[in-house]
Amino acid sequence: MPAPLLEYLDGLLAAHPAAHRLVVGYSGGLDSHVLLHLLATHRASWPERSLAAVYVDHRLQAASTAWGEHCARVCRDLDVPFRVLRISARPGPGESPEAAARRARYAALAAELGPDAALLTAHHRDDQAETLLLQLLRGAGPHGLAAMPATARLGRGWLLRPLLDLDRAEVLAYARERGLRWIEDASNADTGFDRNYLRHRILPLLRERWPAANRTLARSARWCAETTAWLDAEAAADLACVVARRPDGLNLSALRELSELRQRNVLRYWFRRLGLPTPDSRQLWHILHDIPSAGRDRQPCVGWSGGEVRRYRDTLYAMPPLAPHDARQTLIWRASTDGWPPLELPGVGWLRMEEIVGAGLRAEALAGGLLLVRFRQGGERFRPVGRSHGQELKKLLQEAGVPPWERDRLPLVYLPPTPTLPHPRGGSEPLLAVMGLGMAADYAAAPGEPGLEPVLQSPSAAGSGIV
């Protein structure tokens, strides 16, 4: 097995020259042990790359700590740097324990990767066959039936699956020939899990009748992957024609110029680009028919697990479901000796302060090191940079096209009044900035003047695109 596999690995790594750090996702089981052993014993083939291993402890089983200790011993014997990532994998509403564990695992692993790193996992052809059948039984389309790609982006790095063209029998033979010892997770035999049911009950029957079933299913997955590449290219071209001024918005009139088939294709592509789960065909139908037909004065919404689409004016907006938000709260933002630490806004995101020149707020105005962050209550007035006079905040937000559901979630940054720095136009607690609108003209940094700019960071992260 090693000779052709090493040749394949050479090609896989050559296609990712920036991946100088190779990180093996090591569970201690058969498959990942074989991958780790193979890489560790042939690391001289890639002297310019480092090798490490990481074990993700989901803390769902009593033996998980002992498994981590086993992984540490194996890595010590192989002289491979090793670390443990401990995560929480509680299922969300309507989410299976398997899906929750997988989501949390990949999120933790993605956070470990920089642009110079690649995660290597030990998925093989049997896993690919199981994934294809699971997706088929769930009624998935071409993207789901493409199953697992050999390479994919993961966070800022890459995900590589070098064993994808091997059967489990070949992996097992490698391990036995070299006397490897691995962990047997008893839960892998529990046919109450869908994947285990396919592995132990269905696929053996299929291989009795069709011995090459693994290869045949893997070939179908590759054909589906080719189809999805073409569909994505078409969707990307359409998206460029219908996207609004924000990436999470689509121009509804332009979208309706496309055929319904292309509308569905571009919507699915759009959701994946935004890192949102893809709605099913029934929900897509509601998005394309119910939302556009609602009255102009309405704010229709179609939601599904993990996402929703809303309309404002002639724009569709996609987003995660809105988290609970208390618009009456006031948060205190204090500077430290190291500057302004990020401020968490529950249900909204994070505020961080960026140093800038000739823009943002005058650094002098923030010398007191204390700011108040509030949300719109009604009646506020604001004069942003470029305006000669103040205006009601409500009208400014309408004029800027800010969707109604966002208006009460936009942070308003206030400066507590001090005797040495009163409000230039009188009053108290001057409004310095409105996220989404800009900085107050009275406190804006002049050209060439040091400035500080508060920036809102959304809590939603872009999806990893992992299949």
Q: Buried b vs exposed e over 72-83: b needs ≥16 C-beta within 10 Å?
A: bebbeebebebe
Q: Are residues 265 and 375 in the same domain?
A: no
First to last CA, the chain: 27
Residues 26 and 98 in one domain: yes
Instruction: Name the β-bridge partners of 418.
Output: 421
Both 70 and 179 in a single domain? yes
Q: Are residues 218 and 84 in the same domain?
A: yes
Q: What is the pLDDT along the chain (467 residues), one digit of tens a residue?
A: 677 888 888 899 999 999 999 999 999 999 999 999 999 999 999 999 999 999 998 877 778 889 999 999 999 999 999 999 988 777 665 566 677 788 888 888 998 899 999 999 999 999 999 999 999 998 888 999 998 999 999 999 999 999 999 999 999 999 999 999 999 888 888 898 899 999 999 999 999 999 999 999 999 999 999 999 999 999 999 999 999 989 999 999 999 999 999 999 999 999 999 989 899 889 999 999 999 888 777 789 999 988 999 999 999 999 988 888 888 999 999 999 888 999 999 888 899 999 999 999 999 889 889 999 999 988 899 999 988 888 899 999 999 989 999 999 999 999 987 655 544 444 468 999 999 899 999 999 999 999 999 999 876 533 333 33
Q: How many angstroms separate the CA atoms of 328 and 395, rounded?
A: 20
pLDDT score of 436? 87
Same domain, 303 and 433: no
Same domain, 50 and 153: yes
Of 319, 340, 360, at which residue does a domain stop? 319
Range of the structural domain that residue 267 is part of: 243-319
Domain termination residue (choose one: 172, 194, 223):
223
Structure pTM? 0.77
And the tokens for 444? 């804006």
Looking up residue 25, the CATH number of its domain turns out to be: 3.40.50.620
What pLDDT, on the 0 to 100 scale, is given for residue 435? 92
- Do 52 and 178 lie in one domain? The reply is yes
In a domain, 44, yes or no: yes
Q: Residue 466: what pLDDT?
A: 33
In what helix (H) or strand (E) does residue 233 lie, and over which residues does it extend?
helix 213-242
How is 139-160 classified by DSSP, letter by letter? T--HHHHT---SEEEETTEEEE
Is there a single domain that holds both residue 40 and residue 140?
yes
Domain boundary among 319, 352, 368: 319
Same-domain check for residues 401 and 292: no
Taking the C-alpha atoms of residue 222 and residue 215, their distance in angstroms, rounded to an integer, is 11
